[in-house]
Every structure is written in C-alpha cells, then in structure tokens.
C-alpha cells in the first residue's frame, strides 16, 4: 500500500532554476562546445605535415591562410609530434565531456551537482592564475578568473539548492483503522 500521499515533500513540484543557474549551465555547455571543437579540429589534423598544415587549417576553418592566427596554429602544430597531437585532441574531448556532464547534472538538479561543479571549477583556478602570472596584460585571463570565482561563490552559496528534491521517501505508519 502506498502512503506517499501523506508526505508533502513528494507532492510538491521541483524548484525552478534561477537565472544564474541557467547562465552557469549555458556557460558550461558553451565551454563544452568549445573544447569539443578544439578536440575535433586537433584530431582531424593529427597527420598534417609541416608544410601542408596552413592550407589545410585555412580550408577547414574557411579562413585566409595568410592570417596570423592560422600561421601561429600551423607553427604550433609543426612543433609537436603526432602522439602529442593525439593526446591534446583526446584531452580536449575529455574536458568537453566533463563540462557537458556538469551542465547536464545541474540541469537535472542532481543534489551533488553543485559540489561536483565547485570541485571542477576549483581545479581550473590554478591554471588561470598561472596564465595570468605568465601574461598579466591579457584581459581575457583576468575575465575568466573573475567569472569562475563568481561561479564558485554563487554555487557555494546555493550548494544545497537541489538537496530537498532528492530526499528519500520516508516510511510512515498506515493511518489508524486502515485495513490490513
């Protein structure tokens, strides 16, 4: 016999996501898409030769082969081994999967998703600080650091947001006089 009608926690709808949670989820999916693109592009050009890479990159990205970014990308690719290219591509795909996982877990309102996102975001902070230490004039690095610290602060403040939605059902005694 089901007595879940006695528990008000089971009958209420789940909480709506706040605007900042939606923004964080969108940001996680955007980062996942960026790393997915990097992984696919790097793995696509694993076997690119030193002299053919600029034209292949330009053709694949539909860009002018004389652009500075294409030349830098080609020079970087020419300076690493095929195994390093494979590892960079695989790492980018793995990072994309982690970011997508964070987004989906937050979207599904899994109670420990905020803790997972806090832990994963904390892992990236030292890398951002190192990047700022190497090139303090780059605005982009400072911007990412501020955004990720803001995400950390918000998620820490709201870390138990979904915990009420995942309480295990309580076993209650049947009402008095109920038939057995």
pLDDT tens, 121-138?
Answer: 999 899 999 999 999 898
Whether residues 153 and 113 share a domain: the answer is: yes
In a domain, 177, yes or no: no
37 and 74 share one domain: yes
108, 133, 152: which is the final residue of a domain? 108
Q: Are residues 79 and 133 in the same domain?
A: no
Residue at which a domain ends, from 67, 92, 108: 108
**71 pLDDT higher than 70:** yes
127 with 144, same domain? yes
Three-class DSSP category at 6: helix
Question: Is residue 175 domain-resident?
Answer: no
Which pLDDT score, from 0 to 100, does residue 96 have?
Answer: 97
Task: Say yes or no: 122 and 60 in one domain.
Answer: no
> If you count them, how many residues does the chain have?
180
Residue 28: both structure tokens together: 């996680």
Do both 80 and 146 map to the same domain?
A: no
Look at residue 98 and tell me if it is in a domain. Answer: yes
Q: Give residue 117's domain range.
A: 109-164
Opening angle at CA 101, ends 168 and 132, nearest 5: 125
Cα-Cα-Cα-Cα torsion 83, 87, 90, 96, nearest 10 degrees, comes to -150
- In this structure, are 72 and 25 located in the same domain? yes
Cα gap 132→134, rounded to integer Å:
5
Residue 12 located in a structural domain: no
Tens of pLDDT, residues 79-90? 888 898 899 999
Whether this prediction's pTM lies above 0.85 is answered by: no
What per-residue string of b and e applies to 165-175 under the rule 16 or more CB within 10 Å gives b?
eeeeeeeeeee
Q: Total domain count for the chain? A: 2
Cβ-in-10-Å burial (0-12, 13-18, 19+) of 105 comes to: buried
User: In this structure, are 79 and 142 located in the same domain?
Assistant: no
Please check whether residues 53 and 104 belong to one and the same domain.
yes
């Amino acid at each position: 016999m089901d007595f879940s009608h006695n528990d008000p926690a089971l009958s209420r709808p789940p909480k709506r996501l706040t605007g900042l949670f939606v923004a964080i989820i969108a940001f996680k999916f955007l980062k996942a898409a960026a790393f997915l693109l990097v992984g696919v592009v790097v793995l696509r050009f694993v076997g690119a030769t030193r002299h053919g890479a600029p034209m292949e990159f330009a053709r694949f990205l539909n860009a002018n082969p004389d652009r500075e970014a294409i030349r830098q990308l080609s020079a970087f690719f020419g300076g690493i081994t095929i195994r390093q290219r494979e590892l960079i591509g695989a790492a980018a795909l793995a990072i994309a999967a982690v970011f997508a996982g964070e987004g989906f877990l937050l979207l599904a309102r899994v109670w420990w998703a905020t803790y997972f996102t806090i832990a994963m975001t904390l892992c990236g902070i030292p890398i951002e600080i190192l990047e700022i230490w190497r090139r303090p004039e780059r605005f982009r690095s400072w911007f990412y650091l501020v955004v990720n610290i803001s995400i950390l602060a918000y998620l820490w403040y709201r870390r138990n947001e979904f915990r009420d939605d995942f309480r295990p059902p309580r076993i209650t005694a049947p009402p008095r006089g109920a038939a057995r």
